[in-house]
Amino acid sequence: MAEAVAEAVAEAVADAALPVATPAARRGRWLIYAVLLSFAVFFLVPLGVVLLNSVRTAQEIGLGSVIGWPRGFAMENYAEAWSRYCIAQRCEGVRNYMWNSLLMTVPATLVSTALGALAGYSVSLWRFRGDTIVFTIMLMGVFLPDQMRLIPWALVLRELGLTNTIAALVLIHTVQGLSFTTLFCRNYFVGIPQDLIKAAKVDGAGFFRIFWRIVLPLSPPILIVTVIWQFTGIWNEFLYGVTFTTGAQQPITAAIIAISVSSPTDVPQYGVQSAAVLLAALPTLLVYFFGGRYFMRGLTAGAVK
Amino acid sequence: MAALSVRGLHKRFGSTEVLKGIDLSVENGEFAVLLGPSGCGKSTLLNIIAGLERPNEGEVEIGGRVVTGLPPRDRDIAMVFQSYALYPAMTVRRNITFGMECRGVPRARQDEAVARVAALLQIDGLLERKPSQLSGGQRQRVAMGRALVRDPLLFLFDEPLSNLDALLRVDMRTEIKQLHRRIGSTIVYVTHDQIEAMTMASRIAVMNLGRLQQFATPDEVYHRPANLFVARFIGTPPMNTVKARLASDGAALVAIVGAGRPDETRLVLPAAPEAARAWIDREVFFGIRPECISDGGRGVDFSAVKVSAEVELSEPTGAETVVLARLAGERVRARVGPHVRLNQGQSAPFLVDTRTTCLFDPASEQLIA
Ligand SMILES: Nc1ncnc2c1ncn2[C@@H]1O[C@H](COP(=O)(O)OP(=O)(O)OP(=O)(O)O)[C@@H](O)[C@H]1O
Ligand SMILES: [Mg+2]
């Protein structure tokens, strides 16, 4: 049976490019679609449940089940989640935490992308003594697990007097993002012909002018990729948020953990909680919806056609 | 005055030595061509002259000033690259003015210069386009324009025509030559195309394996190659170089090809140099251009020697036929008339014009002059 399926699939894949398909190949292709579709449904179920619950009232969920079609359209869940819902004894909704996340994510994304572009430019297009060693060391940052960095960061933050501040998280995410942003940009910039740099040098341009006038104008695809990557990564990150901030200083991902800690006497607030979760995820969802296209395009783009 | 002097230049990449002591002096207004097989170090030499690479040893002097340690921008040079290296994100106009922008030339002067160069190269209509919207020939012109817009002491060209199709290349060749005549600047031009070298150069620097083999006029490089490498590199097909024994026949010298064989061939050398007398009764390499071996149908002088050789291969090229034949056991190429058809294995008569032949020392491979 498995063999027959494998055969049909192989045939379908082989025939996919051909305009006319044999009946066997057509059957194989339907099989592929069916499998893919079931995977897609499987992955989308949690999002679907949360989406539906976010517009159901607490009573409705309490009387029925957590999975169910909304009877009405309870938009007040969102209003409550935004400004009144109690998270860890503070009944101000998610808005302050969202604002914290934004204050953390935007500067960290912009600075790490800018520095990564500059670092990637210098390791790819300017050879200097020990350039490969510098790059290798930077690359190690990509593979170092986050847990291993907690204690060093704790020491650094204490020395700098940044404990429990959003500035601390900006610093952490900027520095840790550098490995990735440098790698991304470097891999893109090695596709820029050396001759362009040579020509610019002969024309009299220096390091920064070449970066600004020659390299950056070729870089939007990779800058978009890097910004999307950093933005979603930093927004969704929560280990550092939980570890280094408390109370009102927390980013949304850290704060929202408190949802799971509800007192046993309360009626479960599934509707409001779903709305809060969706609000927390909204920025990254929007980035995926509107930027995903550019992300794919940028990853596969070459520097110079 | 020498516009460019290069002295004792060595360049190593890791453990491989790419340039092994280059000495070169290019006069003002000269069109010097660096010619050599792929990988012989032409681009490396040009990059060192431009200041884009550092030599391990040696000195570069441009316009009488030692520039060895200076960056490219302080060397008063302009360069055209094989890939053209046009800045993709800039319009043609910006590409041309970028160098002036870096040097802080006032806007009005920039516009003037662009207008002048655009007229010179007939790219007026392209100024607002991006490089991706240009054809290969147009890009080439823009790349030239970017160099010409400045008035440097030295122009450096690295195979600027090798990405063009054959017809366009011939046109551009003529244009560059005329351009040089008009502006009279000093040019160092890298190519591995012999025709380009022969037609454009005032002198050709033939390079091989990181060494300068000969630096002389196209005529001299062609007729008096300094060594066996040059003899076998220049010309399509290149010079025949066959083992021969030198002998004296009264006052004249004779090269005996295939000495001792029943079909040994004796070629009298009316123009052999005095130095060749030292090689009497010794082995030498005898060099003769294919066009000096003909079928006699081309009005060759009566002083030519009649020989007979066995035909191995006949290659009609249109304007002539190149025949590969065995002359007393040695392989030689001959250029015969376009309508001459010789069959393989056939023994055919040839006329050998021995007035412009060369002799080479088989040990040092140098020309005996
Ligand atoms: N950056 C480098 N690192 C190591 N080796 C190099 C480097 N640049 C050039 N080489 C080597 O030096 C030699 C000469 O290279 P160069 O580019 O000067 O040759 P070229 O004569 O210009 O050849 P072509 O006609 O193919 O352009 C080659 O063998 C090349 O592999
Ligand atoms: Mg080259």
The answer on B89 and B151 residing in a single domain is yes
| Cβ neighbours around B231 below 10 Å, total | 26
DSSP β-ladder status, B2-13 and B57-62: antiparallel
Rounded Cα distance between B188 and A181, Å, is 42
The answer on B290 and B161 residing in a single domain is no
- Out of B72, B82, B88, closest to residue A202 by CB: B72
The answer on B123 and B24 residing in a single domain is yes
Quick check: is B231 in a domain? no
Residue whose CA lies nearest to ligand 1 atom number 16: B41
How much of chain B, in percent, has pLDDT values that exceed 70? 98
- Out of B47, B88, B98, closest to residue A203 by CB: B98
Quick check: is B367 in a domain? no
The answer on B130 and B47 residing in a single domain is yes
Give the N- to C-terminal CA distance of chain A in Å, as an integer. 47
**B225 φ/ψ angles, rounded to the nearest 5 degrees:** -60, 135
The answer on B328 and B192 residing in a single domain is no
CA angle, B143 then B148 then B153, to 5°: 125
Quick check: is B211 in a domain? yes
Cis, bond preceding B237 (omega within 30 deg of 0): yes
Average pLDDT value over all residues in chain B = 92
The answer on B96 and B194 residing in a single domain is yes
The whole-number pLDDT of residue A16 equals 53
Cβ–ligand 1 contact at B38 (below 6 Å): yes
Cα of B103 vs centre of ligand 2, distance in Å, is 28
Rounded Cα distance between B97 and A199, Å, is 13
Q: How confident is the model at residue A192 (pLDDT cuts 50, 70, 90)?
A: very high
C-beta of residue B10 within 8 angstroms of C-beta of residue B17: yes
Quick check: is B17 in a domain? yes
| Arithmetic mean of pLDDT, B282-293 | 95
pLDDT tens per residue, range A94-120: 889 999 999 999 999 999 999 999 999
Quick check: is B329 in a domain? yes
Quick check: is B134 in a domain? yes
Instruction: Give the type of residue at A17.
Output: A
Cβ–Cβ contact B132 with A under 8 A: yes
The whole-number pLDDT of residue A270 equals 81
The answer on B113 and B75 residing in a single domain is yes
CATH number, domain with residue B290: 2.40.50.140
pLDDT tens per residue, range A196-215: 999 999 999 999 999 999 99
Last residue of a domain, which of B172, B199, B226? B226
The answer on B262 and B140 residing in a single domain is no
Q: Which of B194, B97, B212, B199 is nearest to B150 (CA)?
A: B97
DSSP characters over B302-359 = TTPEEEEEEEEEEEE-SS-EEEEEEETTEEEEEEE-TT----TT-EEEEEE--TT-EE
Asked if residue A9 has pLDDT above 60, the reply is: no
**Which domain covers residue B246, as residue numbers?**
240-360
Q: Which residue of B has its CA nearest to A220?
A: B89
Quick check: is B369 in a domain? no
The answer on B170 and B68 residing in a single domain is yes
Rounded Cα distance between B100 and B280, Å, is 64
The total number of structural domains in chain B stands at: 2
Query: Does the ipTM surpass 0.95?
Result: no
Among the atoms of ligand 1, which is closest to the Cα of residue B82? Answer: 27
The answer on B210 and B262 residing in a single domain is no
The answer on B25 and B144 residing in a single domain is yes
The whole-number pLDDT of residue A145 equals 87
Query: A195: which chain B residues are within 8 Å (Cβ-Cβ)?
Result: 81-83, 85
Last residue of a domain, which of B172, B201, B226? B226
Cβ–Cβ contact B105 with A under 8 A: no
Among the atoms of ligand 1, which is closest to the Cα of residue B14? Answer: 4
Last residue of a domain, which of B226, B254, B285? B226
Among the atoms of ligand 1, which is closest to the Cα of residue B190? Answer: 22
The domains found in chain A, sorted by start residue, are 95-304 (1.10.3720.10)
pLDDT tens per residue, range B307-357: 999 999 999 998 999 999 999 999 999 999 888 888 899 898 899 999 889
The whole-number pLDDT of residue A1 equals 43
| Arithmetic mean of pLDDT, B268-285 | 91
pTM of the full structure: 0.83
Quick check: is B139 in a domain? yes
Q: Which residue of A has its CA nearest to B47?
A: A198
| Arithmetic mean of pLDDT, B177-197 | 92
Q: What is the number of the ligand closest to the CA of B37?
A: 1
Q: How confident is the model at residue A248 (pLDDT cuts 50, 70, 90)?
A: confident
The answer on B129 and B50 residing in a single domain is yes
CATH number, domain with residue B16: 3.40.50.300
Q: Which of A10-14, A220-224, A266-270 has the highest mean pLDDT?
A: A220-224
